[in-house]
Structure 1
Amino acid sequence: MRSSEPRYLSGGVHPVKILVTGPFAVGKTTLVGTVSEIPPLRTEEVMTQRGELVDDLVGMRGKSTTTVAIDFGRRTLPGGALALYLFGMAGQERFVPLWHDFAHGALGALVLADPRRVQDSFTAMTRLEEMGLRYAVAVNQFDDAPHHPDHEYRQAFDLDPTTPLVRCDARDHGSVLRALIALVEYLLVARQEAS
């Protein structure tokens, strides 16, 4: 879907700000890059030996870079009425102030979860709840990850019954798009019910 020529939004397209969150090394940069219709902005840097002291690389084979601010991409949803502005937030604790800054004006968030490290997603969900942002959870289907039934994930995450839980492969365009559509449908219904 991505072309080498930039696409500009035409009239009648409503921009929607969405955060893409989750723990360190869960696939946020990959997800934003996979679905963006424009060349994504990435702030990845090579990890250093000093970084290994603060970023736990256990079980992260081949992880050599990390986001040091945000990733940014844009995706116009099918039908062309909504353009999602995707802000991929760095997952480490030291970047929390950025979360608060970028949450202003966001409609909601997609929390990317790693089924190998479910507990690592709790902090992102708690942070979003404290900020008053609704979210959906997308379980990223890593090749070597265990597969659990949805009800076990819902229980582990202590999700409200209305909070969407989807499975997603951050490398697959269609999969990521379906996760984003599930989030936006949920957010729009919640907004209508609140008004």
Structure 2
Amino acid sequence: MNFDSQTWTELSQAFAFLGNSLLAPMSQTERYGVDPSFWREFPDFGDEEVAASVSRCLAYAEGKRAALDEDDLVREISVEYTHLFIGPPRPSAAPWETFYRNADVSVGFGEATFEMQRLLREAGLRISNENNQYADHIGIELLYLATLCERAACGDQASAEAGAAFAADRPLAWIDAFCQRICGECADGYYRGVVELASALLSLVARESAEPGK
């Protein structure tokens, strides 16, 4: 793999931030995403798609902070989160892989859930979240990848290869459809930028396993 230890560390931190951002509304998590300085310092890894996504997140934060104070913006983003990923009556943009792997799915527990449970067990990880999300939630998949990147940063080649393969085979296979649903509901919202950035970073990591000689 071409990534050095520092790059893997930064990727781990980026995926951890994005994963946590998608697991709970901002009113229950960190508020970094509403701070323009956070996005100005966010690494783009020299990748045009990642840089464009970071720029979208920065433009959102700058535009909103010019009109709203932090508390009001956090409330607005939290309402958006509820509409998109919780409901009622149901999520407008279901955040579980199962919904995008199978046609006409009406429940959130499927084969993709079992597959993620297996991967988490094999990695020695356990789901511990207050919202009791299914294992194939986009946030959990990104946190799993963050762990693999962290291990890769410590020189674990197997984790580096597993992370690249996982990015390509799992979240990258459905995140575009997920993003399309978000755009259909809140095209100018916060989470479009977050998910587009996640997609760009997944593509970056997946290319590590696709390039010749790796």
TM-score normalised to structure 1 length: 0.26
Compare the two structures and name the one with the higher helix fraction: 2
Q: Pick the structure with more strand per residue.
A: 1
